[in-house]
Amino acid sequence: GAGVSQTPSNKVTEKGKYVELRCDPISGHTALYWYRQSLGQGPEFLIYFQGTGAADDSGLPNDRFFAVRPEGSVSTLKIQRTERGDSAVYLCASSPRGWAGASIPYGYTFGSGTRLTVV
């Protein structure tokens, strides 16, 4: 597609439930990133995929969070046993390729995000 698509745009779930958030990156973009953003804060890095593999998952807050990208395109962020503190906007971004030393980087293209509310 023309941009990064995230679904759903809004998700309300009960504490303790499991949720999946989907990201469709720009076609051909090999790098995919997940961030989350709380009100009044900048985006917080969660995980970076280069192709199908997670190249850096150091931002995942705990083992309740997991992300996959099985075919190197669509990615799903999965959150188990949701807590009220997980409420935030989850942003996905893609770029033609990931970071690579001294190569000129590509800017990220972000989606509009999924607003997750845990009640």
Residue (19 or 48) nearer to another protein, CB: 48
> Taking CB under 8 A as the rule, does residue 102 contact another protein?
yes
112 near another protein, judged by CB under 8 A = yes
Nearer to another protein, 82 or 111 (CB): 111
Q: Specify the long-range contacts of residues 96-100, CB closer than 8 Å, at least 24 apart.
A: 96/28, 96/29, 96/30, 96/31, 97/29, 97/30, 97/31, 97/50, 98/30, 98/31, 98/48, 98/50, 98/55
Q: Which amino acid makes up residue 114?
A: T
Smallest gap from Cβ 101 to another protein, in A, equals 6
Please list every residue from 17 through 76 that binds another protein, using CB under 8 A.
Answer: 33, 35, 40-45, 48, 56
